[in-house]
Amino acid sequence: MAHAKPQTSPIRGVVLAGGHSRRLGMDKRALQLHFADSSRSLLGWSIDRLEAVVGPPLVAIGERPGGLPSATVDPEVSRHLVFDEISQGPLAGLLAATAASPKTALMALACDLPFVSVSLLEALLTSWKTSCADIAAVQHKRHWEPLVAIYGPRSFPKMAERAHSGRRSLHPLLDDPALTVVACQPGDLDLDRELFNLNTAEDLAAAQELAGSTKASGCLGSEAEDSISRR
Q: Report the first-to-last Cα separation within the chain, whole angstroms.
A: 39
Q: What is the pLDDT of residue 49?
A: 93
Q: What is the pLDDT of residue 106?
A: 97
Tell me the per-residue pLDDT of 18-38, one tens digit each, with 9 for 90 and over.
Answer: 665 555 555 677 777 777 666
pTM above 0.85, yes or no: no
Amino acid at 185: Q
Question: Which residues lie below 8 Å from residue 57, measured CB to CB, with a gap of 6+?
Answer: 12, 13, 14, 15, 46, 47, 50, 51, 80, 107, 109
Write out the DSSP string of 77-144.
HHTTEEE-SS--HHHHHHHHHHHHSTTSEEEEEETT-TT--HHHHHHHHHHHHTS--SEEEEEETTEE
Q: What is the pLDDT of residue 80?
A: 76
**DSSP conformational letter for 29:** G
59 and 82 Cβ atoms separated by less than 8 Å:
yes
**Domain segments of the chain as ranges:** 11-229
Mean of the pLDDT values across residues 210-217?
Answer: 57
CA–CA distance from 33 to each of 43, 193, 199, 205, 206 (Å)? Answer: 11, 15, 14, 10, 11
Question: Which residues lie below 8 Å from residue 4, measured CB to CB, with a gap of 6+?
Answer: 132
List beta partners, residue 16. Answer: 60, 110
Write down the architecture of domain 11-229 according to CATH. Answer: Alpha-Beta Complex (3.90)
Examine the pLDDT at 43 and tell me if it is beyond 90.
no
Residue 76: which pLDDT band, with cuts at 50, 70 and 90?
low
Amino acid at 204: L
Name the average pLDDT for the chain: 79
Tell me the per-residue pLDDT of 132-185, one tens digit each, with 9 for 90 and over.
Answer: 899 999 999 989 999 999 999 999 999 999 888 877 789 999 999 999 999 999
Tell me the per-residue pLDDT of 3-14, one tens digit each, with 9 for 90 and over.
Answer: 446 677 799 999
